[in-house]
Structure 1
Amino acid sequence: MRYDFLRRALAAAALLASLAAAASAGAAERTVHIGFQKYGTLVLLKGRGTLEEKLKPLGYDVQWAEFPGGPQLLEALNVGAVDFGSTGETPPIFAQAAGAPLVYVAHEPPAPKGEAILVPKDSPIRSVAELKGRKVALNKGSNVHYLLVRALEDAGLAYGDIQPVFLAPADARAAFESGAVDAWVIWDPFQAAAEVTSEAREIRNGEGLVPNHQFYLGTKSFVAENKSAVEALLAAIAETDAWVAANTQAAADTLSPSVGIPADILKVALDRQSYGAKPLDEETARTQQKIADTFHALGLIPAAIKVEDALHHPQP
């Protein structure tokens, strides 16, 4: 009898251990890999830790990866290293043209002041027209690539009238401050940092030229197969947007240690950002299509694309 009792006790213990292990495994059945940059809502969402709270009950944990720009982030998405991330307007165009399996999930309202063409404070250049023949640094395929194209067009110049120098933000800033390039097309918070620390002078921002949307994108497979996680992500983004819009100084103070940028600079950038993520509407999709058509006409992407093919249509 004692043997039977011991056997039943051991069996019960084994069952409890098995259930505990299953519960533990169920608590993190899937890891969501999120790409972020030193700007935008996702880096603030990472800092606040609220996404993990929303995803854990659904059986997900989160891994974050930082990228210097949107093109690099979407390269990671293309090879499956990232499930979800945010970029400006142009990177998804280049990525879709390269065959990346991406879908647009949502976007923030326009923030045209959050990107600009800068020149050194002592530069003789006073207008975009004076960039003719000059070296202009930018991150190829980033949101500012389209700003440069539109600004040149607006000033009566062709893209071929300037010498583009393709550099990631850190290298571009070094080239800009050393005088190796004449101008730098850049986005916040790098834009704000250059304006504050080196007194870089803006000759044109996106106002009247480009909307400068921030897009949230995911792989087609992740978005299709993880509806609850996507809904939780968008809910967390909406909460963070609302908090930052009402507390930009607190957001800057919170974000500063994690990104290594002083809070006063971040406050400038956050004040120029827009808040209120929502699904893509027809006007935004048309704007993206115009960007795609422009880059195809310039020979900067290899084939024409249809942005419509990459739009996410949530199922009820």
Structure 2
Amino acid sequence: MRHPDRSTPHSTHPSTRRRVRALRLPAVLLALGLLPLVSACGGDSSAAEGSSGSGKGKVTLRIGDQGQSLLTTLKVAGQLEDLPYEVKFNQFDSGPLVNQGLQAGAIDFGVMGDTPAVLARASGIPVKVIAVSRTVGPGYTLVARPGSGIHSPADLKGKKIAYSRNTANHGFLLRVLDKEGLRQRDVTPVDVPLQNIGNVLESGTVDAATATEETRAKYLAEHPDAVQVINGRTVTPGYAFRLATDKALADPAKRAALLDFSHRLVLANEWIAAHPDAWVDAYYVKVRKQTPKLGRQVFEATGRTFYVPVDDSVIREQQKQADLFTANGQLPGKVDLSGQFDPAVSKEFNARTVQKGSSS
């Protein structure tokens, strides 16, 4: 399964796209850009497209997906068959936009990287963490263009670096800078949409960029003398988050559906590990529109994903990131993340989502 909150294709037809209303957030949070004022997201897939559920009990889960990753994962693994509830998938282009869908009440469940999960709490969105995946791999790579003068993280001061604000690659960049005793103000950050990171790097208008594995592979193929400065393996835990609204969790029928849905995600993830060729064809070739060769390369380089316990170690890492955002002036003050983790919810969902070998 691919990591959420990475660049996604514009696969939703324009006629189905819709606008999500602006959030009513404190002015200081809006000024800091925690969430965009107005954002586009993909239209709902039909229940027939998203599932073959019978809708027993008239329960419908509204899922916030990114780039069809969850939809494709579940469909190719056969986990959308014989559902006892309906599922509607909403496609978003980034984690911050999933957050806006959660805040607006448009979805019950959302998938995102670690940074948007922190900012969900900072923005007061009423959600809880119900499942966490960890990818044991490079995650993002800071790639420097040839001739940039960047050879190691120590060379980043004063350089122009492309990133996407408030997404997981923003958190990655701050961790890289922190490793060198630097802050965001010590570089010239160039905020671009996730989908445009590769294009900006290719244009030569920045010195370096926070690249996904797919972007890294493509760029290095064309620019073999580019510098791979550092990747997330050494600075990030590799977490991605599944959040559910407090309202959905308070509804017994929806909570039961969320438990089942989360377990199906785990089963689908295990299916992918056992059928890599089918997954590469279904996702990288058919959805991402990559060649089979590149798709396989990206899949193998990305690393294995496991669902891990929602526990104190996860909370500590997230709190560390929140404090780093505060220290960099990206949050107006201390953000306590403990309220996003409910011990009762964690215990219940851990029993259905934690995979064997997830600590490896």
- Superposed pair shares fold, TM > 0.5: yes
Q: 2:159 aligns with which of 134, 148, 160?
A: 134
2: CA distance between counterparts of 1:161 and 1:91? Answer: 23
2: CA distance between counterparts of 1:46 and 1:221? Answer: 24
Q: 2:230 aligns with which of 174, 189, 204?
A: 204
Question: Deviation string for 1:128-160 (max 9, x for gaps)?
Answer: 222221111111111121211121122243321
2: CA distance between counterparts of 1:223 and 1:201? Answer: 46
Matched, 1:306 2:307: no
Question: Deviation string for 1:150-186 (max 9, x for gaps)?
Answer: 2112224332110111111222322211112111113
Question: Deviation string for 1:179-227 (max 9, x for gaps)?
Answer: 1211111334444444446655421101221112111111121233212
Q: What RMSD, in angstroms, separates the aligned Cα atoms of the two structures?
A: 2.5
AA of the residue aligned to 1:227: R
* Local SS of the residue matching 2:233: coil
Q: Identify the residue that residue 232 of structure 1 maps to in structure 2.
A: 260
Q: Identify the residue that residue 250 of structure 1 maps to in structure 2.
A: 278
Deviates further, 171-180 or 181-190: 181-190
Contact 2:135 2:306 in 1 (8 A): no
Cα distance, 1:92 vs. partner? 1.0
Change (3 A) 1:216 1:175: same
Question: Deviation string for 1:237-265 (max 9, x for gaps)?
Answer: 11111111222232111212123233333
Alignment of 1:132-281 (within 5 A): 132-196=157-221, 199=224, 201-225=227-251, 226-255=254-283, 256-271=285-300, 272-281=302-311
Q: Identify the residue that residue 297 of structure 1 maps to in structure 2.
A: 327
Find the structure with the greater CA-based Rg. Answer: 1
AA of the residue aligned to 1:250: A
Q: Which runs of 5+ in 1 are unaligned?
A: 1-23
Change (3 A) 1:193 1:124: same
Change (3 A) 1:259 1:213: same
Q: Which runs of 5+ in 2 are unaligned?
A: 1-52, 349-360
Change (3 A) 1:53 1:276: same
Q: Which has the higher helix share?
A: 1
2: CA distance between counterparts of 1:53 and 1:287? Answer: 36
* Local SS of the residue matching 1:64: strand
* Local SS of the residue matching 2:211: strand
* Local SS of the residue matching 2:142: strand
Q: Identify the residue that residue 81 of structure 2 maps to in structure 1.
A: 53
AA of the residue aligned to 2:255: K
Q: What TM-score, normalized to structure 1?
A: 0.82
Q: 1:64 aligns with which of 68, 82, 89?
A: 89
AA of the residue aligned to 1:184: A
Matched, 1:103 2:128: yes
Count of aligned residue pairs for this structure pair? 289
Report sequence identity in percent.
28
Q: Identify the residue that residue 45 of structure 2 maps to in structure 1.
A: none
2: CA distance between counterparts of 1:100 and 1:164? Answer: 27
Q: Identify the residue that residue 3 of structure 1 maps to in structure 2.
A: none
* Local SS of the residue matching 2:131: strand
